[in-house]
Each structure stands twice: as structure tokens, then as C-alpha cells.
Amino acid sequence: MSRTSFVEKLREQVGNELAAHQQYIALAVWFDRQDLPQLARHFYRQSVEERNHGMMIVQYMLDRDLPVEIPGTPPVRNSFSTPVELIKLALDQEKQVTGQIEELFRLARSDGDALGEQFLLWFLAEQVEEVASMTTLMVIAQRAGTNWFDIEDFVAREQIGDGGTDPSAPVAAGGQL
């Protein structure tokens, strides 16, 4: 198969997902250091999900005999002063990834790549859920103000983003973590 613009962007998306993984680890560690264990747990889990997304794309490229390489990741932000700053960064990142997946879908369609389009459907649905749950967390964090433990209570009670294993998820190279 020739290397189309879709395939090129898909390769880049592996890097985008792994960069999101690295950034979410930094957010989780910040929460951990602030003794906010529920938020830390939530973002450790989100970081693993981003890693899995990257490895799902790797598996897809392996399955279709497309050239795949693992890129390095850009620097991440570690310095913050309030939970709202971290959640805002995460929300912006999820919106950015949504735009990247939408662009990939458009490219698959213009390349006439039906298999590529089908592969992306799960990612589009996943982004709707991730933007929605991060938006909720943002509203809760803003409402909590300086009462950070109110956010902890919410995360503990609502189990946001803890959908468990999704049987419709694409297979990840090496297996999902």
C-alpha cells in the first residue's frame, strides 16, 4: 500500500497519543504531590488510556502492513498552582485530539480508505466521551474554588471516566494495559 496523507497523519497520531500519555502522567503526579489521591488516580488512569490509544493505532498499522515508527514525545508541563489549571489543560488537550481525529477521518474519506474510516469510528466516540467527562470535571473544579476536597469527593463518588473494559475497543499492540 502506498503511503497516503492519511497514513502519514496516522503515524503522527501515535506520537500525539503518547504525548497525551506523558502529559497526563505529569498531571497525575502533581495531584499525588498535593495529596489529592482521587484526582491522581483519575489522571494515572487517563494516562494509561492514552498509551493504549497510541498502541491501538500501532496495532492497526501492523495489521495493514503500514510503516510504523515510535516517535519521541515533546516536553510536558509540570508546573501548576491550582487543580483548575490542570483540568483546563486536559480539556484543551482532549479538544485538540478531537480535532486531530476528525481531520484523520476526513483524510481517510478523501483517500477512499474505508478500512481507515471504520477504524476511526471508535476514536470519534471515545473523544465525545472524554471531552464530556473533562468538561464536567472542569465545572466541578470551578465550582469548588479553593475547596479542593470537594473535587476529590466528586471524583470518588462519580467514578468519572471509569467505564471499565470496552469490548468494542480496537486491539492494542502488546495488549491493553
Q: 146-176: string of b/e by CB count within 10 Å (b at 16+)? A: eebeebbebbeeeebbeeeeeeebbebbeeb
DSSP tag of 82 = S
104 neighbors 122 (Cβ within 8 angstroms): no
Cβ proximity to Fe ion, 15 vs 150, nearer residue: 15
- Contact track, Fe ion, 12-51, x by CB under 5 A: -----x--------------------------------x-
Cβ proximity to Fe ion, 117 vs 130, nearer residue: 130
Q: Which of 84, 80, 101, 118 is nearest to 20 (CA)?
A: 101
Which of helix, strand or coil describes residue 95? Answer: helix
Cβ proximity to Fe ion, 17 vs 152, nearer residue: 17
- Scanning 22-30, 73-81, 123-131, 132-140 for contacts with Fe ion by CB under 5 A, the matching segment is 123-131
- If binding means CB under 5 A, how many residues of this protein chain bind Fe ion? 4
Q: Does 113 bind Fe ion (CB under 5 A)?
A: no
The binding site for Fe ion (CB under 5 A) comprises 17, 50, 53, 130
